[in-house]
Amino acid sequence: MPSLVLRDSAWLRYATFFYLYVMQGIPAGFGLTAVYNYLIGSGLSAHAVGSFAAIVGLPWTFQFVWGPLIDKYQYSIIGHRKQWVVLTQLVAALASLSLLLVRQPVAQLGLMGAVFFIHSVFASIQDASVDAIAISVVPVAERGRVNAFMRGGFLLGWAVGGAVLSWVLHHGGFGRAALAQSVALLLFTVLTFFIKLERTDRLLPRFGGGVRPVAEGQTEAEVNPPLRWLFAELWRSMIEKHSLRAFGIIFLAYLAGSLFNNAYTFHLIHSLHWADAEVSAQQGALGSSVAFVVLLGGGIVVDRLGAARLQYWVLVGLAGFLLAFCSLGAFWALKAVGFTGLVVMNLADPLLSAAAMPLLMAFCRPRIEGSQFTTYMALVNLCTVTASYLNGWLLELTSAPVIGLGCGLLLLGLVGALRRAGPHPAVAPQPGAA
């Protein structure tokens, strides 16, 4: 198989980051849609199911640690940071195979949660490595579309993990579903070996006393900066006024979307008695397909109009939908109304991502871009974990429609904050972007 070079082709960049995110989406969809809904349908409480989802997502909040380590030890003759991607893909696939130890998911909830936790640790390192590579090799004018392909790949993987593996789980058992996931991850890992970042990269590592090349005018510390400097520079970049304000709005928007999405899914299965397999299929198949199409369009809009403008209108639309939809909570029992909610909430996360990811990339400083972006991602993932835990607690006190109204009001407040602050020049449209 001939080698493929990311620097040489825009379409190869789109395809590569697309499949790398498909690879991340499959286990996420399996754990947080198929298994999550299966546990609700098996009669577990909101607290137990929410705790399981929080355990699965917790390692993704550690990315602020992985980023500086990846930037510190980024050099490799197979491509800077690529060694992290390949190694963690292999270990994550092996961790996925460990799910075969689980025979009865409900009875072995602790064991299953522990295995998913270990898998998430290595999957989160892989994700941090891929994000750092994307920032380093993708031109600024392509970032909106590349982010759309990345998130679109994640959605497709989520659809496979949530809908297809849900069908396997219900018809073939948990073991077959886990095995199918593991085989898919191993196949994608093989493909990664043949992708080069630069034409001069080697396909296989070389062991021994090789000399690390240092470009003219650079020192060794500039090639692999000290960890102390990385963490200090990361801290300074994170507390800078404009980036702190922008990220605060993004964090709260993700928290509101995730919190209602979790509450709504639990309400459909537990209170309205929808079959968990049906909810998984609709979330994973049609919902993700619609979201994928919208995402690609959003990527083009970002490259042409700018992330800040898209972010504003996404928040306006999502706030308006939640306030209207949750006011009609009595009609959720109607299939058409309930299904509409599933589709729209599937759009919330990818639309937020289409605007937020290029915006956050614009704030990333040179030499720490991998560390800074993965820290942002760790905090975004903290939203999902926090929402999973809060969902289990809040549903014991109130109902999903009330939670949704609260989330809608929060988003409305964020719209007001954006109007008062105005966009930062770092996220303005790129001249000549096509």
pLDDT of amino acid 50? 85
Show the DSSP H helices in 58-108 as ranges.
Answer: 63-72, 82-97
Residue 84: count other Cβ atoms within 10 Å of its Cβ. Answer: 23
365 conformational bin, left if phi > 0, alpha if psi -120 to 50, beta if neither: beta
* Geometric angle at alpha carbon 93, from 87 and 99, rounded to 5°: 145
How confident is the prediction along the chain (434 residues), in pLDDT tens digits per residue? 455 788 888 888 889 999 999 998 899 889 988 999 999 888 888 888 888 988 988 888 887 777 777 777 777 777 778 888 889 999 999 999 999 999 899 999 999 999 999 999 999 888 888 888 887 888 877 777 787 788 778 878 888 888 889 999 999 999 999 999 999 999 999 888 888 887 777 776 665 444 444 444 555 555 566 778 877 888 888 888 877 888 889 999 999 998 999 899 889 998 898 888 878 777 666 556 666 666 666 556 666 666 777 788 889 999 999 999 999 999 999 988 988 888 888 778 777 877 787 778 777 777 777 678 778 878 888 888 888 888 878 888 899 999 999 999 999 999 998 888 765 544 444 433 33
pLDDT of amino acid 312? 86
- Helix, strand, or coil here: 5? strand
Place of tokens 């190694």: 87
Name the residue ranges covered by the structural domains of the chain: 4-203+224-427
Query: Rounded to whole angstroms, what are the CA distances from 423 to 11, 123, 365, 376?
Result: 30, 33, 19, 19
Distance of CA 367 to the CA centre of its chain: 23
CB contact set of 306 (below 8 Å; sequence gap of 6+): 423, 427, 428, 429
**8 A C-beta contact, residue 292 and residue 349:** no
* Geometric angle at alpha carbon 61, from 57 and 63, rounded to 5°: 125
Measure the CA–CA gap between 111 and 117, rounded to whole angstroms: 10
> Given this structure, which CATH class describes domain 4-203+224-427?
mainly alpha
**8 A C-beta contact, residue 31 and residue 116:** yes
Measure the CA–CA gap between 71 and 65, rounded to whole angstroms: 11
Query: Rounded to whole angstroms, what are the CA distances from 304 to 46, 140, 298, 364, 427?
Result: 43, 12, 10, 20, 12
Measure the CA–CA gap between 163 and 159, rounded to whole angstroms: 5
Residue 124: is it exposed, middle or buried by C-beta count within 10 angstroms (0-12/13-18/19+)? buried
Phi and psi dihedrals of 17, rounded to 5? -70, -25
